[in-house]
Amino acid sequence: MSVAHDSLPQPRRFAPAGPLSGAIRVPGDKSISHRSLMLGALAVGETRVTGLLEGEDVLATAAAMRAMGATIDRLPHGEWVISGVGVGGLLQPGAPLDMGNSGTSTRLLMGLVASHAITATFVGDASLSKRPMARVIEPLSQMGAEFSGDNGDRLPLTLRGICPAAPITYRLPMASAQVKSAVLLAALNTAGTTTVIEPVPTRDHSERMLRGFGADLSVTEKDGERVITLSGPAELKAQTIEVPGDPSSAAFFVVAALIVPGSDVTIANVGLNPTRAGLFDVLRQMGGQIEEVNPRVVGGEPVADLRVRHSALTGIAVDPAIAPSMIDEFPVLFVAAAIAHGTTVTSGLDELRVKESDRLTAMAEALTLAGARVEEREDGLVIHGTGGTPLPGTPAGAAVVTHLDHRIAMSMAVAGLASTGGVEVDDIRPIATSFPNFLSLLESLGG
């Protein structure tokens, strides 16, 4: 599923509406939701999941796992029940697997299919079909999978899996949790030991969840690098999973509360996995008041409620080493930086040029249109803050171009709340792909 190609763009103006206050709960973590469905579908027995993110990206994963033999049902009260086929039990899908706009679904499912003796064709929407897949094709080809398509490494792509696949030792050439996860998922049905060497740590949901489902996985450190080994074939056992709130979704409300004067907002049940929560650390360095209430551990993942109050932020130079733990949160960090005192410098963000859009250029143009002072560099943005005064907003008749990118649409919606004239966003349809109830939650806080 993806933004309907035949429906018309839905522009919307986001205007200031006074302080934000109240308590909300954001949808379940997207990364954990995808992996719950995939691992549940490969486990023996019945996996039960509550708090699953029911956005289009995750539903694309559910549809693909059903197409390959798993039984996946949503009960009326929102719990999901998955009857798995067992590792090695995936069936040949009868039609192409439609990934919609989901790069995560595509790359992880390619890993799953690679070590099964089945053939699957992956298709996606216009935005996903522009995204490079070479980064997963390379290691999966080393394991014996074959890829073919008419557009180089772009979708549509047909993957011919192989069983038995060959175990490999693979050093990640770039920080990518998706590539790491694809190789580990392929290793589940591969006899022997597969090793992934990670020079820069990335989000580790796959490692935590694979262990939780019973895979023989170990993580060690050698010469400052993470070494992840998985011995296959694995036998996964069904689990009961409570998906924590997505920190990437919470990020928009955290920034909104920090930059809208008088705001005091609590966001319940937010996942605070250290490989994902970098944004909150950076915002605290800038002076943001973000308090962790009732910290706890759920399913191997740290969780807390976040209480966030309006704060005077100060620009900083963001350490590039923290980038992998907040790569999806930079668009909304740029909004916070635009309202801060002084200058914020970001670097090491080349990865943002190959997301749903080129997020560096898109955010530089969007914030400039809304009246912010932004310099675009090759690997980051330099943002000169307003010193706490609101942005002017977009001129009449001009709208921010979102490039069908949900995070740009939501980030600029937040910018509109901290502007004098409001910010016009050209199309809010993409928000549904990752965060279906974003607008209603914003309205419930007074935004």
Residue numbers belonging to the annotated binding site for 3-phosphoshikimate: 30-31, 35, 176, 178, 328, 355
Dmax (CA) of the chain: 62
Tokens of 288: 């943001």
Catalytic residue from among 29, 125, 305, 328: 328
- 366, 401 Cβ separation under 8 angstroms: yes
Annotated binding site for phosphoenolpyruvate, which residues?
Answer: 30, 103, 131, 178, 359, 407
Closest CA to 422 of 412, 430, 437: 412
β-strands 119-123, 97-98: how paired? parallel
Q: Rounded CA gap, 15 and 30, in Å?
A: 28
Phi/psi at 381 (5° precision): -120, 150
To which residue do tokens 């670097």 refer? 347
Q: How far is CA 342 from the centre of its chain?
A: 29
The question of whether 328 is a catalytic residue gets the answer yes
DSSP type of residue 378: T
* CA–CA gap between residue 228 and residue 239 (Å, rounded): 22
| CA 389 distance to own-chain centroid | 31
Identity of the residue numbered 22: G
Burial class (CB in 10 A: 0-12, 13-18, 19+), 347: middle
CB count within 10 Å of CB 159 equals: 26
The annotated binding site is made up of 30-31, 35, 103, 131, 176, 178, 328, 355, 359, 407
CB crowding 279-316: b at 16 or more within 10 Å, else e: bbbbbeebebebeeeeeeeebebbbbbbbbbbbbbbbb
Q: Are strands 301-309 and 289-298 parallel, antiparallel or unpaired?
A: antiparallel
Q: Which of 354, 34, 335 is nearest to 203 (CA)?
A: 34
Those residues whose C-beta lies under 8 Å from the C-beta of residue 429, and which sit 6 or more positions away, are 3, 4, 7, 9, 10, 404
Of the CA atoms within 13 Å of residue 440, those in its CB half-sphere come to 7
Q: Does a cis peptide bond (omega within 30 degrees of 0) precede residue 156?
A: yes
**Cα 115 to Cα 165: distance, rounded to the nearest angstrom:** 5
Catalytic residues: 328
